[in-house]
């Protein structure tokens, strides 16, 4: 029996060593850094965000959009083509800046369009529009020349809608 215990001793030490190093705090930090990327998580799907734009509608009203790879914008006539989804955000602020934290359904009105396909700025049939304005907030931070969007809300079915985007916004 003593011989069996001695032969298991190196295995136990190896197991504890591997366990100790695999639980280091550096791994936790790496996981946190990779947890957020430019993406939307909604209804069991993850949508990668490629870019965003905004338009100042005057009177402290802004229209913003986040969109995927594959959508093109013609700068001369603002015509949209391509894509397979689109997030439209209408924002009402108290001043002439978009930075701040806003309540969904009060100052923020979000519309996530899935199965979207734009041809010459017209949404094609088959689109599904989700109003994502229930019990949530939109937080916008200015980070130098970039913006950070953190949008957490629910649609009218109670499905969680989460967005994290850090990047530039093109002014229309």
Written as tens digits, the pLDDT of the chain (172 aa) is 455 445 545 544 444 444 444 444 444 443 343 445 899 999 999 999 999 988 998 899 999 999 998 888 776 776 788 888 989 999 999 888 899 999 999 999 999 988 877 788 787 777 888 999 999 999 999 999 999 999 999 999 999 999 999 999 888 7
What's the CA gap between 82 and 75, in Å, rounded?
A: 15
First and final CA of the chain: distance in angstroms? 79
CA-based torsion, 161, 159, 72, 91: positive or negative: negative
Token pair recorded at residue 12: 């136990």
Sheet of 100-103, strands arranged across: 45-48, 39-42, 160-167, 146-154, 134-143, 100-103
Helix/strand/coil for 122? strand
Eight-state DSSP code of residue 124: P
Among residues 22, 92, 36, the alpha carbon closest in space to that of 61 is found at 92
Contact predicate 123/144, CB 8 Å:
no
The pTM assigned to this predicted structure is: 0.73
pLDDT at residue 28 in the model: 44
Token pair recorded at residue 19: 């366990």
Token pair recorded at residue 149: 């969007």
């Amino acid at each position: 029996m003593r011989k069996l215990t001695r032969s298991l001793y190196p295995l136990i030490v190896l197991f504890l060593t591997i366990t100790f190093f695999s639980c280091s705090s550096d791994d936790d930090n790496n996981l946190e850094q990779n947890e957020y990327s430019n993406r939307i998580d909604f209804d069991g799907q993850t949508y990668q965000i490629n870019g965003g734009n905004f338009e100042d509608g005057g009177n402290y009203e802004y229209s913003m959009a986040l969109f995927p790879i594959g959508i093109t914008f013609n700068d001369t006539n603002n015509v949209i083509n391509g894509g397979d989804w689109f997030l439209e955000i209408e924002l009402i602020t108290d001043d002439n800046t978009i930075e701040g934290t806003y309540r969904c359904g009060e100052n923020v009105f979000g519309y996530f369009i899935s199965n979207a396909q734009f041809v010459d700025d017209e949404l094609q049939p088959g689109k599904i529009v989700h109003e994502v304005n229930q019990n949530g907030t939109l937080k916008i931070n200015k980070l130098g020349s970039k913006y950070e969007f953190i949008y957490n809300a629910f649609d009218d079915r109670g499905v969680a809608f989460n967005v994290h985007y850090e990047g530039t916004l093109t002014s229309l």
